[in-house]
């Protein structure tokens, strides 16, 4: 998150990157093993997507997702 102060006003800028992976469970375990801090533990959406999140050193949120195709 970045802040920008101009003319006495403060604005907060937030960024989130999303990355798709069919192997999100393996990626989670690998990052955990390397000591990467998980800021959002696994979460299963009602429609089937599964994701977790980390924050990079520049404070960019990275949401790692396994998408599930909607049922027709």
Every domain of the chain and the residues it spans: 15-66
Q: What is the pTM of this model?
A: 0.67
pLDDT in the model for residue 34: 94
Strands 61-66 and 16-20: parallel
Number of Cβ atoms within 10 Å of the Cβ of 32: 13
Q: Hunting for tokens 């069919």 — which residue is that?
A: 22
The b/e string for 61-70 (b: 16+ C-beta within 10 A; e otherwise) is: bebbbbbeee
44/18: higher pLDDT: 44
pLDDT in the model for residue 46: 87
Residue 70 above 90 pLDDT?
no
pLDDT in the model for residue 12: 55
What CATH number does the domain located at 15-66 have?
A: 3.10.180.10
Given a contact cutoff of 8 angstroms between Cβ atoms, the answer to whether 1 and 14 are in contact is yes
pLDDT above 70: percentage of residues in the chain: 71
């Amino acid at each position: 998150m970045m802040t920008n102060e101009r003319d006495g006003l403060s604005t907060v800028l937030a960024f989130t990157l999303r990355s798709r992976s069919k192997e999100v469970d393996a990626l989670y375990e690998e990052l955990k093993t390397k000591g990467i801090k998980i800021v959002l533990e696994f979460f299963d959406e009602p429609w089937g997507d599964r994701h977790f999140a980390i924050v990079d050193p520049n404070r960019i949120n990275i949401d790692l997702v396994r998408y599930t195709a909607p049922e027709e």
